[in-house]
Amino acid sequence: MSSLGLVVLIPTTILFLILFHSFRRYAKKKDHNIPPGDMGWPLVGETFSFMKPHLSTTVGGFMEQHTTRFGKIFLSNLFGAPTVISAEPELNRFLFKNDTRLFEPGWPRSFADIVGRSSISFLVGDAHKHMRSIILDFLSAERIRTFFLQDMDYLASILLGSWTEGSVISSLDEATKFSFYIMVKNILSIGPEDPQIEWLRGEFNTFTKGLISFPLKIPGMAYWRGLQSRRNLLELLNQEITKRTKEGDNTNERTKKDDFLGWVIKNTDYSLEKIGDLMLHTLFAAHDTTSRAISLMIYFLDSSPEIIAHLREEHVGVLNSRRQNEESNLTFEDYKSMEFTQCVINETLRLGNIVSHIQRKVSADVHYKGYLILKGYNIAAHLSAVHLDPSLFEDPHHFNPWRWLCSSGVKKTNDFMPFGGGARHCPGSEIARLEMAVFLHHLILKHDWVVAEPDHPICVPYVDFAKGLPIKVRAFIL
């Protein structure tokens, strides 16, 4: 066959196969009950509408329009892939319950390029179970009660104690410092006094922005800068790993026993690449969402003097109890006694919606309530839509911590899923809640505050404050 014939035949054959495959999928759709929806434009689908910024205390125009038009389960085209979006709590629970059997990680490739393909978000089967067990073994109840709580209490006291009378501070920046310092100390044994700590924080800020940006590998763009930061951070981590493996038993006791990097080196045979991806992912996941949750808590409390008064009563009680017991530092028993604080944390996570949705890929055809969700589709469990559903939460756009109180303590409901669920439930959920409670304890006892200028939480798609939520502080006198 001539070269010209091949030039014509090859693309024609490829086009035929694509059309044949599309026809089969379309025929399967016609023969079964695929969820209704709108696939939008070719290639990009409805991605831009879905990603359009909106207040994090709302579901946004895209979800409002689509659930009104199609119901709580509908089909869209996001990031070039057919995606079933669920605003139904039962389907979301079904997804989490069957996470490893019917579903697999469904994050975009661009996410993997920055966070790392060997990170826990992309592992499946035994590899995922093993890495998760390594993380959970490190985050033992005893370690949380001791090292983590001690570091949180100390850092919150120092950080919030440095706020001067009448100063205007960025609550998002301060919350980020607090959470980042805690995690870097416990993961890499780098303290807040270390000269490289601010360089690390800056690199992680760039890394995070690249993670959720449009994947354009153009110099100067957020995604490109995120990839550069990944390389910079991995270089530092690789140097530290090499140093520790060479030092062996000469490594000091604090490092050997207490930080996550040492734990992983000691308890796994992971490659340098896998350890690097695990450290990057853990540092990102462990501090970014928590710092935003703390900022949201400050934002909601600013307009809630009655809630602040109730919190103060609880935390003054904790302080007085500690004095009676001649204890200078917060204990885990103090934390467990903060019942109303737990309600405030729940309500912050429900209304603030730090993580609006969790995405998976369908690994086998799923039949659910008469619908067929095809293998190869993506599926997004939309947590915000459930948390703001008026049929599940009365007056859902109102910040009301008392909704969580009941006669037996803090109410539990399986419609509340801020940390996901199932085999991929966030392993750091207890640490995140503890950080929020400790920060709030010191804030309530040390300061009064007002938001210095209007600034509202926007989902872009992660929660952010355009101005960093500036607050003006003044000392609170007991």
- Angle value at C-alpha 74, between 70 and 75, nearest 5 degrees: 125
- Is 459 within any annotated ligand binding site? no
SS3 at position 139 = coil
CA atoms of 40 and 367, how far apart (whole Å): 24
CB atoms inside a 10 Å sphere around CB 57: 24
Asked whether 49 and 69 are in contact (CB, 8 A), the reply is: no
Taking the C-alpha atoms of residue 260 and residue 216, their distance in angstroms, rounded to an integer, is 33
CA 202 vs CA 111, 211, 463: distances in Å: 19, 14, 18
In whole angstroms, give the CA distance from residue 222 to residue 89.
Answer: 34
Closest by CA to 386, choosing from 410, 433, 437, 350, is 350
CA distances from 110 to 12, 290, 356, 357 (A): 30, 23, 19, 17
Candidates 98, 100, 63; CA nearest to 78 is: 63
> Is residue 35 reached through a cis peptide bond, with omega within 30 degrees of 0 on the bond before it?
no
Binding residues: 426
Residues at the binding site for heme are 426
